[in-house]
Structure formats: structure tokens, C-alpha cells
Structure 1
Amino acid sequence: MFHPLRVRTVERLTDDSVAVTLAVPPELRETFRHKPGQHLNVRYTVDGEEIRRSYSICSPAAEEPADPVLADPVLRVGIRLVDGGAFSTYALKELAVGDVVEAMAPMGRFVLEPRAGRFAAIVGGSGITPVLSIATTLLAREPDAQFCLIRSDRTALSTMFLDEVADLKDRYPDRFQLVTVLSREEQQTGLPSGRLDQDRLTELLPALLPTAEVDGWYLCGPFGLVLAADRALRGLGVDRTRVHQEIFHVDDGPSASARPRVESPAHSRLTATLDGRSGTWPVEEGESLLETVLRSRADAPYACKGGVCGTCRAFLVSGEVRMDRNFALEPEETGAGYVLACQSHPVTPEVELDFDR
């Protein structure tokens, strides 16, 4: 369900990015209480076309209040301009204080509930957005936690949330470690410029911190960086269960498919349960299971339709499907039977999904 939220502020971060703060009315404050690392799915109509996008929340997560009515959650999201991106272009050029944007309740499993321990993140570009919420919340709430942030950006001028990260360094000098790498600009101090590829990370990470003692790694940004960081950590012997990923952008190229490509049957039917109501519909040739549901249920959850955000996650009750791409679900989730409806196509004549589990 989408709820109307009014824009409170629009702050320019860089030439191609802004931070947008959304005001939450009292009756929706519990609905929009978020966990550190979650995102908002927003929709807006531009020139008669409905646009949906997913943006991570950069503000710290508020603690549970004694009186929910007194809670005032701050919803601040970071938006970077994407070439050809309808909503990001609108946000940077036209979105203004007082405008209304519709948003779903915060969601996502790229989260870190504050606890004692040592944690680290490797981020690229706008991948800093959810990690800023994670690090700020963790360090403020848990005095026995440490956080190392390794961030990669093109240039200093293109770096989002410079002041916020600098503030963390000032407030927690003994518990927050910052390492900055610029791919297209030399720094007077710090690491040499260049991309953070697998070989460089394999050499760099053990020199920065004891990799085996890190309780949780958070990788966020473009697919290439996340893949390189994941492979470097695996090569260093880091247990896969300690590595958490969120992809922000995927270029055309290799995909993380759940199963090898299998042709769909000529005639198949989908049964889907959503918000307690079930329906059965024929799957038309070439369409995804999400598209099948949307023909009859406009309230089906989705945002990116690219296998990245995970909004359309559903439980496969029966039958078999193939996924074209999967950049959102962890192996434990696919192993437990979850699929991305936007990327799923039927392999068996009958398929049943449950969006409520």
C-alpha cells in the first residue's frame, strides 16, 4: 500500500545527487519506522505515466518510543541522477518542498540491528546511502561496536554525504574507521587512485582490519564492485553468512540466475495469494509472473522490475519457475523457496506463489 508523504526538504549533495526528506504524519509514524539499511519504494506520475523506484533511507533508525504518538521518524533518502532515469531526473530538476510523493512502508533485508561487534562496509557511489544509516545507528546505540567504511567514488566532488561521514569520524574517532578511494582523482593523502577490483581488495582488506574477526560485511553499490568485493572476501576465507549485499545498478552482462534457462510450457496457469486473497490466471507468452498478476491485481508489489530491489519477493508454493536474473535474494532465501516474481517464468503448467509469506 502506498501512502502520500509531503516533501520537507530537498538538499543538493553533489552536481548529480540530492537528499530528500519526507514528512511523516502522526498516524503513519509506526508504519514508516525503519530498520537501518532499509529502503523506500516510491511512485510518482510524470506526464501521465506512473513511475516506481526504490531509494535507500540514509537517516538513522529511531529507537522504539514509549509512546508511538510522540515518535517522529525522519525519512531521508539519497537520489543520484541516472542516465535516462525518469524519477531521478525529476527529483533533481523539479521536485520541491511541499510536493507529495507516494511511498510504501520501509522494506528490505540489507539491515544491521545494532549489537556489539566489529563490522565493515565496502561501498561505491550512492551505495553509501543505506550504509550511512547502518553505521550512524550502530555507533550511536551500541558503545561496544566498531565500524570500518571503505568507500569508492569517482572524485571528491562526486562524493555523497561527505559532511555526514566526516561527522561520524569526529564523533567516534576510536570506533569508526574511514578509508576513501577515488577512481578518477589523486588524493594528497591516503590510497592511490584507481578502481577497487578483486586483486586490490584482496591485498587491501587484511592490511586494514582482521578480516576473520569482522562480524558482518556490508557490500553496496554497482554490480561490478559488489562482485569484486564478494570474491575477495571469499578468497580471504570469510564465511558467506557474514557477507550481505545490495546492488544499486546492474549493467548488461552476466546475471545471477537461480536456474538454467528452460523454455516455458505452451499453456500455464498461475495461482497467487496477495493480501489474503487468491486468484488464478493464464500466463501469457513471454510475460513474467509479476506481469501475470498485475493484469488483474494492480496492488501487486514491485519497484524496479529488474531483479535488484527484491520488492516482488514471493514464496513458491508449488510448481517450478526459472528466474532470468537475481540480484536481490540470498542463497538461503532461494533455497527456502523464495523467488522474484518480476524475473520468474513458469517451467511447469501450474505454478502457485504466495506474496504474503
Structure 2
Amino acid sequence: MARFHRLKVTAVDRLTDDSVALTLAVPPALREEYRHTPGQHLALRRTADGRETRRTYSICSPAPGDGEGPHELRVGVRLVEGGAFSTYALKEIVAGDELEVMTPAGRFTLEPAPGLYAAVVGGSGITPVLSIVSTLLAREPRARFCLVRSDRTAASTMFLEEVADLKDRYPDRLHLVTVLSREEQQAGLPSGRLDRERLTGLLPALLPVERVDGWFLCGPFGLVREAERALRGLGVPRPRIHQEIFHVDAGGTAAAAPARPAPAHSTVTARLDGRGGTWPVREGESLLEAVVRNRPDAPYACKGGVCGTCRAHLVSGEVRMDRNFALEPEETEAGYVLACQSHPLTERVELDFDR
């Protein structure tokens, strides 16, 4: 079960004009709880003026191997226009501060194994992939990785030195391709946006697409969507494609029309950390909101259908999800929903957050 603990900030490193990396010390008593799989993220919580703000940030540091959990964790934070937490992180957080940090979550992951892997990332989408690549190449000598990253300019590129160091350390096993959308490079690919048409031509020229054991797509919604369409057009089976969305426009993707009208009155029964309860769902609120009113320890972060922290198994009843950018088709087919986006379509709905 995800829990929050206070961790001390030991370093705040400026990456670009609009991004920083925060290093968090993990005390010995909490290291097992913060053991993570490469690609997972942390939810950070702040309460100011009586208002709580939560945001998720991917872990960019390598995952520890066998033995005790991590001594420290590092996350990348990019400033979002009007962003409550990112503004606080870039302008106020200093070494010595303490932050409320949820234990690791997320399924955009790769356990180190032999094979050929590849990623297409944009902007801050490099963050979880940096953990995936560094852990994979360090632990598995029979693994190779092709990283295609897109950024606006060289000056806006997060973790530029860290990726360059990996390339120097593993020159024969890491293939790095950088594309700048708003700046010409002296060498390499011409500038411009990575869309479906361009990726369809580029990827087969870089590596044998059909032999890649896993594709990792991360970044803004538009880039991830275009990359997925390109890969499917190239014949890549969908189970080999893993996605994590970092930014979605306010409109996003419209929800499908409900199969039936919402009931006048409904209840949600939820099992959470081994304990259950049943509560009324108020008109217009999500199932997560109904649960949190009664169980503040319910797991959630973004409330936008992106991070997947509030994933729960739908035991009974029917729901309508407004948006879903976190669950794979196999998960929804198996009965999982995002509680923050789910609204009841039956008088009784039962969720299991522990399953």
C-alpha cells in the first residue's frame, strides 16, 4: 500500500532554465519501502494555505540491485506554466528542506533482461527512461538500447550530461539519436517535429524494428500517440509497446457515451489496505472523491487520468471513465479502472485498491 513519508532534500541541481533535479535522502528504516523498479515514479505532496497539492515525478536514478533499498532517490521536475508544485520546486525548494513523498508506484517499467530495447521520448519524458537505461545496461551485459529523444533546443534538454555519460560508458550497447525541433544541429538529423510519417521512415533505418523486445514511449500526448501509430504501422505487436503520458491538453480525449444514464443515488464499497467501507457517492463526484472523503489514505496523485496511482479493480457494478492515459488495454479488459476518472453507472459499485 502506498504511503507518504518525509524525506530530506540533499541537493537541488539546475538542469536547464526551467527544470531541476531533486535528490532525496532515504533513511535506513525506509529503504525497503522505497525500493523501486526502473521507470517508476514518486508522488510529492505539499500543503499550503490549507490546500493540498500532489504531483508525480519519475525517478531518474538507477534502481538498486539485490540487498537493501536505495540510499537516495532523484527526480526531475520541469516548470509547467501556472504549475503550483513545479513553481514551488524551481523557486523555493533548497537543500535541507523536507518533502512528503509517496512510496514508488507506476507500471511503465523494465526489469533488466537480455535483449534489444528502444525508446522514443520527448522533453521531460527522458526522466523514467534514464532510470530504465542506466539500470539495464549496468546490470545486464547482454542488453542493448536505442534511445531516440526529441527536445526543442540543446539548452532545453534535461539530463544532457547524464545521457552523454551513459553513451561514453556503453558506446557499443547504447545507440543515441537526438532530434531538436526548433534548432539545427551541426551533425545528425535535421530539425523538426517527430510525427508518425517521420518516425515510420526513421526507426527502421536505426534498428531492426521487428526484433525489439520492448518499446518505451514517454512524453507529451502528441508525441506518444504519433510514435505508437508509427510502430503499429510497422507491424509491432501492441503488447511490446509501453507508454507513459506526461502532458495532455485540457480537452484530452472525450469519454465514450455512457451505456446507461447515471443512477439518482449510488454507493461505492472500497477495500483499501485490508479494510473496507461503503459510502454514498455525491452527484457529479468521482469514485475517488467519494472514497477520499472517508479514507484520506486512498492513493492518488494527478487526478487527471495520467499517472495511474489510483488504479483499482472493479469488483462489481459499472462505471464510466472520463479519460484514461495510464491503463493498458489488458488492464481495462481485466477489470481495472482509474478511480479519479470513474463515475457510477449502477446503484452499487465495488472497488478493490489492494488487488
Shorter chain as denominator, the TM-score bin is over 0.9
Q: Aligned partners of 2:125, 2:70: CA distance in 1, in Å?
A: 26
Q: Aligned partners of 2:252, 2:307: CA distance in 1, in Å?
A: 17
Which residue of structure 1 lines up, in the alignment, with residue 204 of structure 2?
Answer: 206
**1:62-103 deviation per Cα after TM superposition (whole angstroms, max 9, x unaligned):** 1011xx3xx543200000000111110000000011111011
Q: 1:279 offset after TM fit, Å?
A: 1.1
CA contact (8 A) 1:127 1:220 kept: yes
Q: Aligned partners of 2:244, 2:74: CA distance in 1, in Å?
A: 18
3-state secondary structure, aligned to 1:180? strand
Which residue of structure 2 lines up, in the alignment, with residue 16 of structure 1?
Answer: 18
CA contact (8 A) 1:256 1:326 kept: no
Q: TM-score, normalised by structure 1?
A: 0.97
1:260 partner amino acid? A
Unaligned runs of 5+ in 2: none
Which residue of structure 2 lines up, in the alignment, with residue 335 of structure 1?
Answer: 333
Q: Assess, with a 3 A threshold, how the Cα gap between structure 1 residues 40 and 254 changes in structure 2: closer, same or farther.
A: closer
Task: Find the partner of 1:56 among 58, 72, 83.
Answer: 58
Which residue of structure 1 lines up, in the alignment, with residue 47 of structure 2?
Answer: 45
CA contact (8 A) 2:310 2:339 kept: yes
CA contact (8 A) 2:63 2:70 kept: no
2:114 partner amino acid? A
Q: Aligned partners of 1:30, 1:260: CA distance in 2, in Å?
A: 44
Q: 1:275 offset after TM fit, Å?
A: 1.1
Which residue of structure 2 lines up, in the alignment, with residue 269 of structure 1?
Answer: 267
**1:36-74 deviation per Cα after TM superposition (whole angstroms, max 9, x unaligned):** 000001101233321111000000011011xx3xx5432
Q: 1:283 offset after TM fit, Å?
A: 1.1
Q: Aligned partners of 2:252, 2:46: CA distance in 1, in Å?
A: 31
2:138 partner amino acid? A
Does 2:85 match 1:83? no
Q: Aligned partners of 1:273, 1:148: CA distance in 2, in Å?
A: 42
Q: Give the ranges of 4+ consecutive aligned residues of structure 1 lying more than 4 Å apart after TM superposition.
A: none
Q: Aligned partners of 2:186, 2:48: CA distance in 1, in Å?
A: 44
**1:239-294 deviation per Cα after TM superposition (whole angstroms, max 9, x unaligned):** 1010000000101344275x533531111111111111111111111100001111
CA contact (8 A) 2:75 2:127 kept: yes
Which residue of structure 1 lines up, in the alignment, with residue 90 of structure 2?
Answer: 92
**1:298-336 deviation per Cα after TM superposition (whole angstroms, max 9, x unaligned):** 111100000000000000000000100000000000000
3-state secondary structure, aligned to 1:157? helix
CA contact (8 A) 1:123 1:219 kept: yes
3-state secondary structure, aligned to 1:264? coil
CA contact (8 A) 1:57 1:130 kept: yes
Which residue of structure 2 lines up, in the alignment, with residue 260 of structure 1?
Answer: 257
Q: Aligned partners of 1:332, 1:159: CA distance in 2, in Å?
A: 34
CA contact (8 A) 2:28 2:71 kept: no
CA contact (8 A) 1:303 1:309 kept: yes
Which residue of structure 1 lines up, in the alignment, with residue 284 of structure 2?
Answer: 286
Which residue of structure 2 lines up, in the alignment, with residue 73 of structure 1?
Answer: 71
CA contact (8 A) 1:256 1:327 kept: no
Q: Aligned partners of 1:50, 1:237: CA distance in 2, in Å?
A: 45
1:55 partner amino acid? Y
Unaligned runs of 5+ in 1: none
Q: Assess, with a 3 A threshold, how the Cα gap between structure 1 residues 85 and 46 changes in structure 2: closer, same or farther.
A: same
Which residue of structure 2 lines up, in the alignment, with residue 230 of structure 1?
Answer: 228
Task: Find the partner of 1:137 among 135, 138, 163.
Answer: 135
Q: TM-score, normalised by structure 2?
A: 0.97
Which residue of structure 2 lines up, in the alignment, with residue 183 of structure 1?
Answer: 181
Task: Find the partner of 2:29 among 27, 30, 46.
Answer: 27
Q: Aligned partners of 1:256, 1:285: CA distance in 2, in Å?
A: 20
Which residue of structure 2 lines up, in the alignment, with residue 3 of structure 1?
Answer: 5
Aligned residues: 352
Q: 1:349 offset after TM fit, Å?
A: 1.0
1:38 partner amino acid? Q
RMSD over aligned Cα, in angstroms? Answer: 1.1
**1:123-161 deviation per Cα after TM superposition (whole angstroms, max 9, x unaligned):** 000000000000000001110100000000000000000
1:219 partner amino acid? L
Which residue of structure 1 lines up, in the alignment, with residue 113 of structure 2?
Answer: 115
CA contact (8 A) 1:151 1:181 kept: yes
1:26 partner amino acid? P
**1:197-232 deviation per Cα after TM superposition (whole angstroms, max 9, x unaligned):** 111111111111110000000000000000000000
Task: Find the partner of 1:239 among 217, 222, 237.
Answer: 237
Does 2:314 match 1:316? yes
